[in-house]
Structure 1
Amino acid sequence: MASVSNIHISQLATTIAINLPPNNNDINFYMTAPTYYSWVGLGFGAQMANSFMLMAYPASDGKHITISPRLASGDREPQFDRSYRVRLDGNSTVDGSYMVVSGTCFNCRSWAGGSLDSNTNNQPMMYALGPSTASGTSRIASNDQGVTLQKHTAYGRYLMSTIQATGYGGTGVLTSIDNQVNTGTQPVNTYGTNSPNGVVIGDHDTLGLAHGIIMGVATLVLAPVDVILGGGRLLASFPLIHAICSLFYLLLLIAGLGTGIKASAEYVATQHFSTAHQVLGFIAFFLGLVLLGLGIALHVGRALSSAGERGIVAVAHKWGIRFLWVLMLIEGGLGLQLAHASLGLMIGYIVFAGASFLAVVFVLACLWCIGGRRSRTRDGVRTAGIVDGGRGVFNTTPRKSVNSRKTSGDSEPVIIPDNRHPRYVEPSNGMGTLNKVLI
Structure 2
Amino acid sequence: MVSFRSTIKALSSVLALAAVSNAQISTFINRSATGYSASFNVPASGNDTFIQLNGPASAGWVGTGIGTGMKGALMFVIYSDGNGGVTASARLGLGEFEPEFEESILYELLEGSGVADGIMTANIRCSNCREWNGGSLDVNSTAQNLLWSVGNNEQIATTDKSATIHQHRLYGFYTLNMVAATGGNDTNPFTSNDSVVSTGSSIAAPRTKADRVLIAHGVIMGVTFVLLFPFGAALIRLLNNRVPNALALHRGVQIFNMILVFIGMIMGVWRSSMTGTQWRSYHQVMGIIIVCLLPLQAVLGQMHHRQFLITGMRSTWSYAHIWFGRIVIILGIVNGGIGLGPELANASRGWVITYLVVVAIMAALYALFYLLKERSREVRRQKSIPLKEVM
* 8 Å Cα contact 2:98/2:167 also seen in 1: no
Find the residue that maps to 2:136 and give its secondary structure: strand
* 8 Å Cα contact 2:53/2:121 also seen in 1: yes
Cα 1:265–1:105 change in 2 (3 A) is farther
* 8 Å Cα contact 2:41/2:183 also seen in 1: yes
What is the CA-CA distance between 1:174 and the residue it aligns to? 12
Determine the structure 2 residue equivalent to 1:253: 261
What is the CA-CA distance between 1:150 and the residue it aligns to? 5.6
Match of 1:325 among 316, 329, 341: 329
In 2, the alpha carbon distance for the partners of 1:74 and 1:121 equals: 11
What is the CA-CA distance between 1:316 and the residue it aligns to? 2.5
Determine the structure 1 residue equivalent to 2:351: 345
In 2, the alpha carbon distance for the partners of 1:75 and 1:282 equals: 26
1:244-393 superposed matches below 5 A: 244-267=252-275, 271-295=277-301, 301=306, 303-305=307-309, 307=311, 309-337=313-341, 338=343, 339-378=345-384
Determine the structure 2 residue equivalent to 1:219: 225
1:101-116 superposed matches below 5 A: 103-105=122-124, 116=128
* 8 Å Cα contact 2:222/2:333 also seen in 1: no
Cα deviations by residue, 1:161-181 (Å, 9 ceiling, x for unpaired): xxx99975432589957869x
- Gaps in structure 2 of 5+ consecutive residues: 1-19, 29-36, 55-60, 79-85, 102-106, 114-119, 138-143, 157-164, 387-391
In 2, the alpha carbon distance for the partners of 1:40 and 1:175 equals: 27
What is the CA-CA distance between 1:215 and the residue it aligns to? 1.4
Find the residue that maps to 1:310 and give its secondary structure: coil
What is the CA-CA distance between 1:253 and the residue it aligns to? 0.5
* 8 Å Cα contact 1:18/1:29 also seen in 2: yes
% identical aligned pairs: 20
What is the CA-CA distance between 1:243 and the residue it aligns to? 2.1
Q: Does 2:46 align with 1:53?
A: no
* 8 Å Cα contact 2:42/2:50 also seen in 1: yes
Q: How many residues in Structure 1 have an aligned counterpart in Structure 2?
A: 311
Larger Rg: 1
Computed over aligned residues only, the root mean square deviation of the Cα atoms, in angstroms, reads 5.6
Cα deviations by residue, 1:316-347 (Å, 9 ceiling, x for unpaired): 32222211111111112111124233344334
In 1, the alpha carbon distance for the partners of 2:132 and 2:91 equals: 23
Find the residue that maps to 2:309 and give its secondary structure: coil
What is the CA-CA distance between 1:360 and the residue it aligns to? 0.9
What is the CA-CA distance between 1:257 and the residue it aligns to? 0.5
Cα 1:284–1:121 change in 2 (3 A) is closer
What is the identity, as a one-letter code, of the residue corresponding to 2:95? D
Find the residue that maps to 2:95 and give its secondary structure: coil
What is the identity, as a one-letter code, of the residue corresponding to 1:54? F
Q: Which structure has more RCO (C-alpha within 8 Å, separation ≥ 6)?
A: 2
In 2, the alpha carbon distance for the partners of 1:121 and 1:286 equals: 45
Cα deviations by residue, 1:30-83 (Å, 9 ceiling, x for unpaired): 589xxxxxx996436998468652369xxxxxxxxx9985746743354799xx
What is the CA-CA distance between 1:285 and the residue it aligns to? 0.5
What is the CA-CA distance between 1:258 and the residue it aligns to? 1.5
Cα deviations by residue, 1:382-432 (Å, 9 ceiling, x for unpaired): xxxxxxxxxxxxxxxxxxxxxxxxxxxxxxxxxxxxxxxxxxxxxxxxxxx
- Gaps in structure 1 of 5+ consecutive residues: 33-38, 57-65, 91-100, 110-115, 132-138, 181-199, 381-439
Find the residue that maps to 1:54 and give its secondary structure: strand
What is the CA-CA distance between 1:123 and the residue it aligns to? 6.4
What is the identity, as a one-letter code, of the residue corresponding to 1:353? V
* 8 Å Cα contact 2:70/2:93 also seen in 1: yes
1:52-71 superposed matches below 5 A: 53-54=75-76, 69=89, 71=91
In 1, the alpha carbon distance for the partners of 2:280 and 2:65 equals: 29
Cα 1:209–1:55 change in 2 (3 A) is farther
Q: Does 2:46 align with 1:43?
A: no
Determine the structure 1 residue equivalent to 2:251: 243
* 8 Å Cα contact 1:7/1:16 also seen in 2: yes
What is the identity, as a one-letter code, of the residue corresponding to 1:203? P
Cα 1:167–1:144 change in 2 (3 A) is farther
Find the residue that maps to 1:28 and give its secondary structure: strand
Determine the structure 2 residue equivalent to 1:170: 188
Match of 1:29 among 43, 51, 55: 51
In 2, the alpha carbon distance for the partners of 1:122 and 1:3 equals: 32
In 2, the alpha carbon distance for the partners of 1:120 and 1:130 equals: 19
In 2, the alpha carbon distance for the partners of 1:252 and 1:246 equals: 10
Cα 1:89–1:326 change in 2 (3 A) is same
Find the residue that maps to 2:50 and give its secondary structure: strand
Cα 1:52–1:123 change in 2 (3 A) is closer
Cα 1:272–1:2 change in 2 (3 A) is farther
Q: Does 2:206 align with 1:203?
A: yes
Find the residue that maps to 2:278 and give its secondary structure: coil
What is the CA-CA distance between 1:290 and the residue it aligns to? 2.0
* 8 Å Cα contact 2:146/2:173 also seen in 1: yes
What is the identity, as a one-letter code, of the residue corresponding to 1:75? G
* 8 Å Cα contact 2:77/2:90 also seen in 1: yes
